[in-house]
């Protein structure tokens, strides 16, 4: 087993991210070694359960008494009040209490939903994140954001609830759907463009960013988690630097909501949002042409389905959580690895930037 450890220093809420092949064995040891006071619940989704059900059973047996397993439907639709209620009721039914622990074992949807339920049930119980998708490994499992969606917008209901540990077993990425792999890779590019020029150079050098390509995935996940940990340490509650992690997200969340969630992967929407933000960065922040071209070239290596830009995108953008004084806060690049947060009087600029991209081909 070759796990790397990235610490997240948050005082009494500090924790470690364990990354690498076989990291679930560390999770198993963690469950075996914990005080058996409260019941453990492992939350997963139907797809992950169909592929890893036996392994999840073994993990559950490691805790005493054995963990209960709650399975939610696959997909963004599970991030709803109905599924939140269902999960909280399962927690009550299984006898969870304040000494209990929830293990969110799945992608971003499971992490966000189980994270939110664990922060609400009996006013908050402990949480472990065991992300099974690349996107969850490099982004959503770290930093404590939890949430569900409303028809009015993505992640509009949620809490901050830090996990006590994260176990990212890169072996499970072998069974990831290629679209989910690329969706996670888009978030990796986001971290590289905004925070890590060295990681960006590495991504440029790799010949194939796909699931069967030559990316050293443990290295990439570790770099992304390290950068994200630094940001969380500087701004846990997203009042400043953490906003940088939303590069490409204002338009992305609007695209996802306008397409009723699910038709487009989160990372695919972020990729389109990043393209639009890059075009604005060139115009507003002086992002040099050569860096713009390099960024677009790397993004162009990630396949994205055709999307129709719906007319209601603007409405979704103006309901974005990251508004301040009525203006949408957009993250733009001055250079690769250097960002600026720019209030946009007219968020339509982002939509027009993306359309112009499409028309330029
Ligand atoms: N996904 C962005 C953040 O954690 O702040």
Last residue within a domain, chosen from 118, 145, 175: 175
Q: From the alpha carbon of 242, which atom of ligand 1 is closest?
A: 5
What is the count of structural domains for the chain? 2
Q: What CATH number did the domain enclosing 46 receive? A: 3.40.50.1970
| Lowest-confidence pick of 171-180, 271-280, 301-310 | 301-310
Ligand 1 geometric centre to CA of 360 (Å)? 31
Residues 161 and 201 grouped into a single domain: no
Residue 136 tokens read as: 């969850």
CB 43 within 8 A of CB 192: no
Q: Quick one: pLDDT at residue 72? A: 98
Task: Say if residue 161's pLDDT is above 50.
Answer: yes
User: What predicted TM-score, i.e. pTM, was given to this entire model?
Assistant: 0.94
For residue 326, what pLDDT band results from cuts at 50, 70 and 90? Answer: low
DSSP characters for 171-233?
Answer: GGGGGS-HHHHHHHHHHHHHHHHHH-HHHHHHHHH-S--STTSS--HHHHHHHHHHHHHHHHH
**Residue 145 located in a structural domain:** yes
**Upstream peptide bond of 65 is cis (omega within 30 degrees of 0):** yes
**Residue 304 located in a structural domain:** yes
Residue 57 neighbours by CB distance under 10 Å? 14
Q: What CATH number did the domain enclosing 352 receive? A: 1.20.1090.10
**Residue 184 located in a structural domain:** no
Domain residues for the domain of 244 are: 197-360
Ligand 1 geometric centre to CA of 61 (Å)? 32
Radius of gyration of the chain (CA): 20
Residues 66 and 147 grouped into a single domain: yes
Task: Say if residue 148's pLDDT is above 60.
Answer: yes
Last residue within a domain, chosen from 113, 141, 175: 175
Q: What is the mean pLDDT of the chain?
A: 93
Indicate the pairing of strand 323-324 with strand 40-45: unpaired
**Residue 189 located in a structural domain:** no
Q: Which residues line ligand 1 (CB under 6 A)?
A: 139-140, 143, 145, 238, 242, 245
Residues 210 and 289 grouped into a single domain: yes
Residues 209 and 274 grouped into a single domain: yes
Residues 171 and 202 grouped into a single domain: no
**Mean pLDDT, rounded, for 305-309:** 81
Q: Would you put residue 124 in left (φ > 0), alpha (ψ -120 to 50) or beta?
A: left
């Amino acid at each position: 087993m070759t796990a790397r450890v990235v610490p997240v220093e948050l005082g009494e809420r500090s924790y470690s991210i364990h990354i690498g092949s076989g990291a679930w064995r560390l999770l198993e040891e963690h469950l075996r070694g914990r005080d058996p006071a409260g019941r453990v619940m492992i939350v997963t989704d139907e797809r992950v359960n169909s592929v890893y059900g036996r392994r999840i059973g073994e993990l559950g047996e490691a805790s005493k008494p054995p963990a209960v397993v709650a399975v939610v439907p696959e997909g963004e639709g599970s991030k709803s009040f109905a599924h939140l209620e269902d999960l909280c009721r399962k927690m009550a039914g299984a006898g969870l209490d304040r000494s209990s622990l929830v293990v969110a074992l799945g992608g971003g949807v499971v992490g966000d939903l189980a994270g939110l339920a664990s922060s609400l049930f009996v006013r908050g119980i402990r949480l472990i994140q065991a992300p099974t998708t690349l996107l969850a490994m490099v982004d959503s499992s770290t930093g404590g954001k939890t949430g569900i969606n409303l028809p009015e917008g993505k992640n509009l209901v949620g809490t901050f609830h830090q996990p006590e540990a994260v176990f990212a077993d890169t072996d499970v990425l072998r069974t990831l759907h290629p679209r989910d792999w690329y969706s996670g890779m888009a978030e990796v590019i986001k971290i590289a463009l905004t925070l890590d020029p060295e990681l960006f150079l590495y991504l440029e050098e790799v010949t194939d960013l796909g699931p069967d390509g030559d990316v050293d995935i443990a290295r990439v996940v570790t770099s992304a988690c390290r950068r994200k940990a630094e940001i969380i340490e500087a701004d846990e509650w997203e009042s400043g630097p953490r906003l940088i992690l939303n590069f490409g997200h204002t338009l992305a969340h609007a695209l996802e909501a306008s397409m009723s969630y699910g038709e487009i992967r989160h990372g695919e929407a972020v990729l389109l949002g990043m393209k639009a933000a890059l075009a604005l960065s060139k115009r507003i922040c002086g992002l040099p042409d050569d860096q713009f071209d390099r960024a677009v070239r790397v993004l162009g290596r990630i396949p994205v389905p055709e999307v129709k830009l719906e007319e209601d995108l603007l409405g979704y953008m103006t309901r974005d959580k990251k508004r301040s004084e009525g203006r949408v806060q957009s993250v733009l690049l001055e250079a690769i690895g250097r960002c600026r947060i720019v209030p946009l009087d007219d968020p339509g600029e982002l939509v027009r930037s993306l359309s112009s991209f499409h028309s330029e081909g």
